[in-house]
Chains A and B, each alone.
Chain A
Amino acid sequence: MSELQRFLESRLPIIGEAVVQTLQMVSISLVFSVLIGLPLGVLLILTRPGNVWENRLVYQVLNTVINIIRSIPFIILLFFILPFTKLVVGTTIGIKGAIVPLIVHAAPSIARLMENALLEVDSGVIEAYKSMGIRTRHIVWHVMLREARPTIVLGLTIAVINLVGSTAMAGLVGAGGLGDLAYRFGHLRYEVDVMYVTVFILILMVQGLQSVGNKLAAKYKRD
């Protein structure tokens, strides 16, 4: 009993801090990557051959850039874009320093999943709205994004869970977080109990995210 107490007393604050760091990194980078990825996904759809803003150049450039960024593993990207990170947030370390590469890493994936979700929307419904004289921006918002919501939510769930995984590597630039904690205590200091607790929290987090995602998707899906 006293041993558990001692453990909690000495390690709980560190673990709590790591949880907060992870949540901060995940939520901030999620918001920004959606803000960047969503419009890019819509742009990918609209500039696609045969669509309203058909534009081969924009589509191809966007496509290539997204593929290039997506092919760089996060741990490499983290160091690869250090100058860019410095330029954007003025530092390359800590949570701030980790968030920029997290966004650069996640936004293209989110653009892709938006594109895929929007591609699934029945083109007939879009045509029906076109035939009613509805503006393109309204069709994007009220038809495409609306109908794609269940798929978007499920895709975003995967994206968030990936982000949680990526934050583990953010420890390398001193951003902290659960992954970093597990690595430092479990691997470097061989205090396995801290590692177990951390891993357990990560499992809970991922499970929670997935079930929230599933519930939300089911709520939006009506057929």
Chain B
Amino acid sequence: MIKLSHVSKTFYTKKGEVHAIQDVSLEVGKGEIFGVIGYSGAGKSTLIRCVNLLETPTSGSVFINGREVTNLPAEELLQVRRKIGMIFQGFHLLKTATVYDNIAIPLRLTDVNPREIEERVNRYLRIVGLEDKRDVYPGQLSGGQKQRVAIARALAQEPEVLLSDEATSALDPETTESILELLLEINKTLGITIMLITHEMHVIQKICDRVAVMEKGRVIEQGRTVDIFARPSHPTTKRFVNSTYQEKLPASLVRELSQSGPVVRLTFVGESTGKPILASLGNHFPVSANILAGGIIQLKQEQIGSLVVHLSGEPQDTASAIAYLEEQGVRVEGVEVADE
């Protein structure tokens, strides 16, 4: 559906060249929800703008539905953009127009006939759950409601792809949830492909099928969400994954326990989630496992179990216990203590 091939973007400023994105290649399949995560300044915003050519890549190619769109003449570019909806962190609605007009005006300007406009506005207002707000001005709406209007505006163009530029970053946690639910529903019922960028791992966790992690303009890791959560390899990815764990163990406790054996985080995915591996550990090795914390991360499709465990025993025994756990498909990782 969307394919970026070796895309780079360099900005030439007075202070010199800024390499916003460097040699990024990725592919978003039809009907997929694809997330790009990175800290601010990683280049994800520039990246998503390259998809609908709000930014022209310095080099590389962008393909939409197999067709290269990087160097299209202006008129054709307009047509391509009409098939790609976009929503933003700042909503970007007309302040001087009612909710109805905010959705209808772009349709009028793209020559949709009046009866069809009326029909579409009503349909998409219903989908986003704002039928009763059609004559209200955006100034009277909450952030979440504004984003819903923006989503309805994007959907009313009946796009094949929806780009989301930090759409939930300005919203409170509860509203974020409801907007994410809405995006999931749109993806499922309308079959719209969604590409989103975010700096919140939670968003990836909740709705993304696949994810790319960006840092300093490059994609440092990409794959299925479950794999990234289960086996993050790059340190930045690990930081993002760790940010989803709720529990924070006191550093002093971890240090103290480490005297008598390693404190490790065990991550269970798929089959290993169901097996009583930890319980049987004591039968195999002279090692006792003491659970310090634990939880389950609910991804879009799967669950990932996570336990922080203190393994007490002789060093060689705990080492072979860890090896055994890894054999069983459990990911084992030492718990790092942040120095205060």
Using a CB–CB cutoff of 8 Å, the interface residues on chain A facing chain B are: 122, 124-125, 127-135, 138, 142-143, 146-147, 149-150, 220-223
Contacts and interface: CB of A to CB of B under 8 A. Distances in A.
A124 B96 contact: no
Given A125-B94, A149-B96, A134 B139 contact: no
Interface string B105-142: 11001100000000000000000000000000111000
Given A130-B81, A133-B81, 11 more contacts: A122-B95, A128-B88, A131-B163, A132-B81, A132-B86, A133-B78, A133-B110, A134-B78, A146-B96, A221-B96, A222-B95
Contacts of A150: 96
B139 A223 contact: yes
Q: Which bracket fits the contact residues of B?
A: 20 to 34
Given A128-B86, A130-B54, A131-B52, A222 B96 contact: yes
B90 interface: yes
A220 B82 contact: no
Contact of A147 (B82, B86, B96): B96
- Which of A127, A130, A133, A221 gathers most chain B CB within 10 Å? A133
B88 A132 contact: no
A127 B154 CA distance: 13
Contacts of A132: 81-82, 85-86, 106, 110, 153-154, 157
Contact of B86 (A122, A131, A134, A146): A131
The 9 closest A-B CB pairs, nearest first, are A223-B139, A133-B81, A128-B92, A133-B82, A124-B92, A133-B78, A131-B86, A222-B137, A138-B109
Contacts of A146: 94, 96-97
A147 B102 CA distance: 12
A125 B93 contact: yes
B254 interface: no
A155 B250 CA distance: 61
B283 interface: no
A121 to B, nearest CB: 9
B80 interface: yes
Contacts of B106: 129, 132, 134
Interface string B143-156: 00000001001100
Nearest to A125: B92
Interface of B is mostly: mixed
A134 B92 contact: no
Contacts of A129: 106
B81 A131 contact: yes
Contacts of A142: 105, 109
Contacts of B80: 133
Interface in B264-295: none
A124 B94 CA distance: 10
10 contacts: A124-B88, A127-B54, A130-B54, A131-B84, A132-B110, A133-B82, A134-B110, A135-B109, A143-B94, A147-B94
B209 to A, nearest CB: 23
B139 A222 contact: yes
B189 interface: no
Contact of A223 (B81, B137, B150, B154): B137
Interface in B138-193: 138-139, 150, 153-154, 157, 163
Given A131-B81, A132-B81, A133-B81, A223 B95 contact: yes
Interface in B68-108: 77-82, 84-86, 88, 90, 92-97, 105-106
- Which of B85, B109, B110, B163 gathers most chain A CB within 10 Å? B109
Contacts of A127: 54, 88, 92
B139 to A, nearest CB: 3
Given A146-B97, A222-B137, A222-B139, A135 B78 contact: yes
Nearest to A136: B74
Contacts of A221: 95-96
A27 to B, nearest CB: 26
Contacts of A128: 86, 88, 92, 150
A88 to B, nearest CB: 37
- Which of A128, A129, A132 gathers most chain B CB within 10 Å? A132
B56 to A, nearest CB: 13
- Which of A130, A131, A142, A149 gathers most chain B CB within 10 Å? A131
Contacts of A124: 88, 90, 92
A130 B55 CA distance: 11
A35 B289 CA distance: 82
Nearest to B90: A124
A138 B86 CA distance: 19
A159 B322 CA distance: 80
A142 B157 CA distance: 17
A206 B54 CA distance: 46
Given A138-B109, A221-B96, A133 B86 contact: no
Contacts of A134: 78, 106, 109-110
